[in-house]
Amino acid sequence: MRLLAAALAAVLWAQVAFAAQPLSIAAAANLTQVIVRLNADFRAARPDVDLTVALGSSGGLVAQMKNGAPYDVFLSADMGFAEALAKAGHADAATLAPFAVGRLVLWTVKPGVDLTGVGAAVRSPSVQKLAVANTGTAPYGRAARQALEALGLWEAAQPKLVTAEDISQTAQFVETGNADAGFVALSAVLSPKLAGKGRWIEVPAALYKPLVQGAIITAHGARNPAAAAYLAFLRGDAAHRDLEAAGYGIPAAPGAK
């Protein structure tokens, strides 16, 4: 009996010792495609971690976390939303770090749209509906507005604008023909699902504030060592390869010239 009890105790100890560590990530919608690659590489290095991901607009995810959503890591489409979460006491400001730089494009699957420039496309008679992500809660939507304002086209574009909840829905509007063109993330048009569909031009980076994306550990994840491990992974070569392949830039390392 003693041997049996010892054996059962050993089995129970092993189950506890090797139980997967849960890690919940809230990720901006522009990361929809690349997060699959990132998490596959993270799992390869850390098979002991059980990852789950929630995707949405950065502003919407912040609202969820302020209302108690139990995410451990927040991957924001810009630094501002992550900073706001920390200022509200729902994340650790000391852990905030840039991990990617997003790029904005104007994309269409409709023939006849003039893509010789952003202005030409917006003015094109072929574009009656122009999709843009919510400019209040989605950083890519805000960047699109900044670009249109820089070109003096924001007011002229108003009658054409179709507002999506986030950048993923913006791409859906264009893909399904519910919009004739739209401002989407480069990562979307390079994704396996959309690569080769339609035509796109990159919006000059000088027209909008850099889309520097930030990663931060939330208050909920402060005691989860897997959260810190994930942020460290984002600074590594494997994550950088995944991000660059998906159309993102890599922020300069702190102190780099």
pLDDT tens digits along 146-204: 999 999 999 999 999 999 999 999 999 999 999 999 999 999 999 988 999 999 999 99
Residues found in the chain: 257
Match 């569909």 to its residue by tokens. 197
Q: Would 179 be classed as within a structural domain? A: yes
Residues 94 and 214 placed together within one structural domain of the fold: yes
- The pair of structure tokens assigned to 117 is 């420039």
Residues 136 and 159 placed together within one structural domain of the fold: yes
In this structure, what DSSP letter does residue 153 have?
Answer: -
Residues 129 and 195 placed together within one structural domain of the fold: yes
Based on the structure, what is the number of domains in the chain? 2
Residues 24 and 64 placed together within one structural domain of the fold: yes
Q: Would 252 be classed as within a structural domain? A: no
Mean pLDDT within 121-143: 94
Match 């402060």 to its residue by tokens. 222
DSSP string for 158-203? GGGEEEESSHHHHHHHHHTTSSSEEEEEHHHHTSTTTTTSSEEEEP
pLDDT per residue as tens digits for the range 193-241: 899 999 999 999 999 999 999 999 999 999 999 999 999 999 999 999 9
For 122, half-sphere exposure in the C-beta direction (CA atoms, 13 angstrom radius) is 25
Grade residue 20 by pLDDT with cuts at 50, 70 and 90: confident
Residues 97 and 217 placed together within one structural domain of the fold: yes
d(CA 19, CA 42): 17
- Mean confidence (pLDDT) of the chain: 91
Q: Would 115 be classed as within a structural domain? A: yes
Residues 187 and 109 placed together within one structural domain of the fold: yes
Q: Whole-model pTM?
A: 0.84
Q: If we measure between CA atoms, which residue out of 100, 37, 42, 88 comes closest to residue 61?
A: 88
d(CA 176, CA 174): 6
Domain that holds residue 183: 103-207
- The percent of residues above 70 in pLDDT, for the chain, comes to 91
Q: Would 251 be classed as within a structural domain? A: no
The yes-or-no verdict on residue 38 having pLDDT over 90 is: yes
